[in-house]
Chain A
Amino acid sequence: MLHIPISRWGEPYQSMETDRVVHFQTGEVLAEVSRANAALVERDLRYARRAREVLREIPVRELLAMLKKAADLYTRAELPLGNGSQTPEQFVRMQSATTGMPEHMCRFNMEKNFYVLTHMDEILDSLTRGLDLEILSRGYGVENRGVPVSYQCQSPVLGLVLPSNSPGVHTLWLPIIPLQIGLVLKPGPQEPWTPYRMTQAFLQAGIPKQAIAIYPGLGDVGAAVLQACPRSLIFGSAQTVEQYKANPRVQVHGPGFSKILFGDDKVDEWERYLDLMVDSVLVNSGRGCINCSGIWVSRHGRKIAQVLAERLGPIEPRPPDDPEAQLAAFTVPGQAEAIYADIERDLTQPGVEDMTAKFGPRLIKQERCAYLRPMVIFCSSPDANIAKKEYMFPFVTVVECPQDKMVEKIGPTLVCTAITTDAKFQRTLADAPHIDRLNIGPIPTIKLNWLQPHEGNIVDFLFRPRAFQFDKDWIRI
């Protein structure tokens, strides 16, 4: 049996309690994962400062080179995993088997991580607006334009409470090591694979083991990570967002409620953007926060929903190793059923219509998992409950709303693709504080420019700009 231990700053620790990760279709136990306890995390955080110190001994440019090497190892090498090892192909199969994601999507996510690791210098250059990274390392310096600057690191480590359902999120923590900040990872219960594999790739590429700790476990361990790390990221539901939104120590990533908005000037040409809409809803099985869950138009809503339903409605579950598979399975018992029940309740509201109903049942229960086939819902009004919903499968509402009411009605929106050349509308969208990433033009919501910040700039979260004056004859650091 493959056993994956806790990693206490690189030292394996086998817990007396384990959790089994099982294949969602066969029930086969793929691994036993050691379960940490909260006080163990808190005690280990005594060494958080050491994580930053060992990283600061390595120049940033060398760390960036190590990441490039790690990218190769992550995608190509057989790497140690607990008491065994894992090839890239085994990684893909295991990740698919426990998260329910089709294998080709897991491979795609690997490529995405590879891209981010191999372009880290450019990504950090854009996130820091061209700052010499040695200034972050040293804490002060002089910009190219001759201005003295200082950035104070707010935490020697970044805590991460990671999800199970969306392997795509791992790109967010890859820039941390070259910022010379340690990692405290709490993997999602069904997705221990990426944190462990990426860590092994980092270590084999030369990153010191004292820089990374991994604590699988239950909710108490996640809470301990958030409590013990001065800066953390957590991924969760709208409820999680609500719980942590006012906590300056925590950057919370929840549902994206990403949308496509048509301006009145372009809505009559909607058919030209059909592929863009389908891709935005469907790619990665609709699991990402950047997948579109709402298409807002002032007219043609029913027709758009109908045509989208004709494209999305017939899609059926396929085996995870099928390269044509487009749907991920729900591997947590009862989750798909609960989501479907929630949708069914909302469908009883007037003005709400399931346009995919005629393409067969949406909830497909299998022996050990369930699927939800794509759903396209037409809403004649933005006030329908379902117009503000997002779920972890290809689900989209097509909402009719006058253009001048859209910004007021859409609510929090992580990615907004605006199909319009109306300058006034563009200005309103650009100024809306509840829109995070704004795409103007025919850009799918799922198309990320890695050189731009995502849900807040991680560098700003980890470093505080401040005044720092010194006499050059006195300074010794």
Chain B
Amino acid sequence: MTALLSSTLQERVATARAQLDAHVREIINWHFSPETGTPFWLDAVAGTNPHFKLNFDPRQEVHGFADLKKFGFFEDDWLRGGPVRRWVPLAYQNRPIYVFETGGTTGIPKTRINIEDFRIDYEQFSETLPDEYFPKGANWLMLGPSGPRRLRLAVEHLCQYRGGICFCIDLDPRWVVKCLKRGWVDVAKAYMEHCIEQALTILEAGHDIKCMFTTPKLLEALALELEKRGTSLRQMGITGIFCGGTEMTPQWMRFTIEELLGPGIYIAPTYGNTLMGLAVAPMPRPEENYKITYYAPQPRAVIEVVDFDDYNRIVDYGQEGRVLLTTLTKEFFMPRFPERDEGVREPPCERFPWDGISGVKPFRGFAATTTVGVY
């Protein structure tokens, strides 16, 4: 594939890789330094971490991203349960700490501490949004899950960062999943209608809302309800939609753009979660068959698409594999975590000179037990 990339792009890929390697060294030094480091990792080196022991000094042996293989694979159980302070770097112990959760429909959710990361991630994401459709100073509607997730605060910060004021409607996905698992389809539907009604009330209240965050299911429900009422998102003033969730397929995107949004609305699909941040994709286009290719916010997070049977092997471009996520911020170091998703490895592009991923969907090993697209 390297041969197929233009020489300019090859140079950009090499530069990005060098930046990633330098960033890895900086993050390793930070998390394993006795002054600034994270107790979980310091204990691992000292041999006192009951979950995980390291038999090498990362500060001596990790020189770049490839060396992170020495860590093996991160286990999600390490993030379940306390004490949560073990994840707070010593340098940040006196800072105000947020904790955000992911999962948790049943059992103990995974937790990630945050100080500034959610703001940094969403400020970076802000740079990818076209001002024409996400005007600076515009007000936003956040229609999606808040509660223990970072999404509400992050979207609100994104809106504020762009100079607007954010209206928020909450939806608790854990309750929706519980309803669906119990066969309470009507209850789940009524709950969704309750959320949509609130959103419509806000949109009709003259707040000059032009942008919104929502999830695929809520976007469908909102657009269909507006259509029933003889209006549309465009007529309500919406020009930009930031949408997140693994159930966005090319067909879903085509249907949404052609039939729910119509011309004049930009949709920015994202793939992400509390552990990663946001992988972004350019707006899918008909000439590319509405393919959605996400790029991780490298160097702060790196996505690799690895062989289903051998997570040490990156698949070829165009091949399917499981998502292996590495998060590299000063607040959170998570090397090589096998995610709950799979997808197709995509080559770098001019805008994002590192690997991307398309066709994201629940990892086949979990798919039968995962309820997706509930909110």
Residues of A within 8 A of B (CB): 15-17, 35, 37-40, 42-43, 46, 220, 223, 227, 242-243
Contacts and interface: CB of A to CB of B under 8 A. Distances in A.
Contacts of B185: 223, 227
A37 B189 contact: no
Contact of A227 (B183, B189, B289, B290): B189
A59 B136 CA distance: 60
**Interface bin, chain B:** 10 to 19
Nearest to B256: A39
Interface stretch (B68-76, B245-253, B348-356): B245-253
B190 to A, nearest CB: 12
Given A17-B251, A35-B251, 13 more contacts: A15-B251, A16-B250, A16-B254, A16-B290, A39-B220, A39-B256, A40-B259, A42-B220, A43-B224, A46-B228, A220-B373, A227-B185, A242-B183
B227 interface: yes
A190 to B, nearest CB: 19
Contacts of A46: 227-228
A46 B225 CA distance: 11
A453 B227 CA distance: 40
Contacts of B290: 16
A43 B251 contact: no
Interface centre among A17, A37, A38, A243 (most CB of B within 10 A): A37
A42 B224 contact: yes
Report, nearest first, the 6 A-B pairs whose CB atoms are least far apart: A39-B220, A16-B251, A17-B251, A16-B250, A243-B183, A15-B251
Contacts of A38: 220
B260 interface: yes
Interface in B245-290: 249-252, 254-256, 259-260, 289-290
Contacts of A42: 220, 224
B250 A39 contact: no
A37 B251 contact: yes
A17 B250 contact: yes
Contacts of B373: 220
A242 B183 CA distance: 9
A39 B251 contact: no
Contacts of A15: 251
B224 A37 contact: no
Interface string B182-202: 010100010000000000000
Contacts of A37: 249, 251-252, 255
Nearest to B223: A39
A38 B249 CA distance: 12
Nearest to A220: B373
Nearest to B259: A43
A42 B227 CA distance: 11
A366 to B, nearest CB: 25
B193 to A, nearest CB: 12
Contacts of B189: 227
Nearest to A42: B224
Given A40-B255, A227-B185, A227-B189, A16 B227 contact: no
A43 B261 CA distance: 13
Nearest to A243: B183
A43 B222 CA distance: 12
Nearest to B219: A39
B224 A39 contact: yes
Interface of B: 183, 185, 189, 220, 224, 227-228, 249-252, 254-256, 259-260, 289-290, 373
A39 B260 contact: yes
B218 to A, nearest CB: 11
A187 to B, nearest CB: 18
Contacts of A227: 185, 189
A35 B289 CA distance: 15
13 contacts: A15-B251, A17-B249, A37-B251, A37-B255, A38-B220, A39-B220, A40-B255, A42-B220, A43-B259, A46-B228, A220-B373, A227-B185, A242-B183
Contacts of B252: 37, 39
B119 to A, nearest CB: 33
A42 B225 CA distance: 11
B280 to A, nearest CB: 21
Contacts of B254: 16
A412 to B, nearest CB: 19
Nearest to A239: B183
Nearest to B189: A227
A354 to B, nearest CB: 31
Contacts of A39: 220, 224, 252, 255-256, 260
B111 to A, nearest CB: 31
A16 B289 contact: yes
Contacts of A220: 373
A193 B306 CA distance: 39
A42 B196 CA distance: 16
A59 to B, nearest CB: 32
Contacts of B256: 39
Contacts of B249: 16-17, 37
B99 to A, nearest CB: 33
Contacts of A17: 249-251
Contacts of B224: 39, 42-43
Contacts of A43: 224, 227, 259-260
B215 to A, nearest CB: 13
A15 B253 CA distance: 11
A346 B259 CA distance: 52
A37 B260 CA distance: 13
Nearest to B290: A16
A114 B185 CA distance: 37
A461 to B, nearest CB: 19
A237 to B, nearest CB: 13
B292 to A, nearest CB: 11
A37 B220 CA distance: 11
A273 B185 CA distance: 46
A40 B255 CA distance: 7
Contacts of B289: 16
B249 to A, nearest CB: 6
Nearest to A39: B220
A10 B260 CA distance: 21
Nearest to B252: A37
Contacts of B250: 16-17
A95 B125 CA distance: 51
A39 B249 CA distance: 13
B313 to A, nearest CB: 27
Nearest to A44: B259
Nearest to A17: B251
A252 to B, nearest CB: 12
A28 to B, nearest CB: 24
Nearest to A223: B185
Contacts of A35: 251
A227 B189 CA distance: 9
B232 to A, nearest CB: 12
